Amino acid sequence: MSRMRYLLGGYTTEGGPGLVVAGPDGLAAPAQVVNPSWVATGGPDGVVYTVTETEPGFATAWRIGATFAPEEVGTAQATGGDNPCHAVVHPSGKWLLVANYGNESGGGSVAALPIGPDGALDAPDDVFELVGSGPDQVRQVGPHAHQIVCRDGRVLVVDLGSDRVHAFALGSAGRFEQLASTVFEPGFGPRHLAFVGERALIAGELANAVVAGDFDPVSATFALGSVVPLPGTEPADLAALPDIGLPEDGPRPYPGAVVADEERGLVYVTVRGTDQVAVVDPAGPALVRSVPAGGSWPRDAVRCADGSLLVACQFGGVVTRVDPSGEAAATRMWDCPGVACVTPLT
């Protein structure tokens, strides 16, 4: 891991530097882009992409130079929606698919931005507006696209606002065709999912729980199992603890990243609020253990070649290295205010 470099994105509105490369010698010169809360790799010749989580939202292409300072490729493009929070390059390499979270009224959508031969982006070929809502009158007034996963020729869109994972086909002209939707328990609030083999583990942000599902590419739906609570489902009775300055209404736990470990057959889920990394066996599914993330509000994580995790702790302003076995304590890697995403630079 010592020779690897990583792309860090986050919130400039929380003091973050923008898009920056982190490595064994610290942080390189950043690109001054507003709120690059997600970074996607996979563009031609190593081009990477950021989404600007603002209203309206934008996506930008970058080339990482010899000094590891990002250089803009082309011009930023509007994503056709508000607060984009996730993006992935389509397996064809022709489009950057963007999840627009939306705003307080809903407004979630998914967009397909064409990728040029040099990696530059163009205006969206299509923006598909999602519909639906859930029982949470604050977070589920309308649809909120939170993640995009390409699997078995389908584009899966995780919609926190409507308690659904939608499946689309993407046509040759870059237009979405909705095929089916998998419906979760009301208020589950699916945020992210990851596959281990043929099985997916889906984290419910609003339920602070996970559920396993087997994906059928023919019906484009998941067969879901039982829901498993994550650490912190029961709030601590802070009034019964020594007074150390904590608010009486302690932070509600919210699952964040879902990271697959194909080698061990496990999935790691960061839990904000309790600041833990939950280790889950998707076969059950069953909670194996929970280990401290080493920082406040662990929003994203990535698995390293040695089996450890790099965890982006947004409110702590730090990226930590976590041993998911729990045998070693978390260590501090890089200080980066508002960090929300950590991605290997390939």
Beta bridge partners of 196: 199
- CB within 8 Å of 120: residues ≥ 6 apart: 61, 73, 74, 75
Cα 287 from Cα 313, distance rounded (Å): 22
Domain presence at residue 1: no
Please report the pLDDT score of residue 244 as a whole number: 32
Residue whose C-alpha is closest to residue 289's, from 304, 271, 273: 271
The pLDDT mean for the chain works out to 94
Please report the pLDDT score of residue 252 as a whole number: 84
Domain presence at residue 228: yes
Tokens of 163: 């308690």
Domain presence at residue 95: yes
Which residue numbers in the chain have pLDDT < 70? Answer: 1-2, 233-251
Please report the pLDDT score of residue 346 as a whole number: 84
Beta bridge partners of 39: 50
Residue showing tokens 């076995």: 325
Q: How many CA atoms lie within 13 A of 335 on its CB side?
A: 1
Please report the pLDDT score of residue 222 as a whole number: 98
Domain presence at residue 246: yes
**Upstream peptide bond of 285 is cis (omega within 30 degrees of 0):** yes
Domain presence at residue 147: yes
Q: Are the C-beta atoms of 232 and 254 separated by less than 8 Å? A: no
Residue whose C-alpha is closest to residue 111's, from 163, 65, 68, 49: 49
CATH number at residue 135: 2.130.10.10
Number of domains forming the structure of the chain = 1
Give 223-243 as a DSSP string. EEEEEEEPTTSSPP-GGGS--
- CB within 8 Å of 253: residues ≥ 6 apart: 208, 230, 231, 232, 233, 271, 272, 273, 274
Domain that holds residue 258: 6-344
Domain presence at residue 284: yes
Domain presence at residue 270: yes
Domain presence at residue 204: yes
pTM of the model as a whole? 0.94
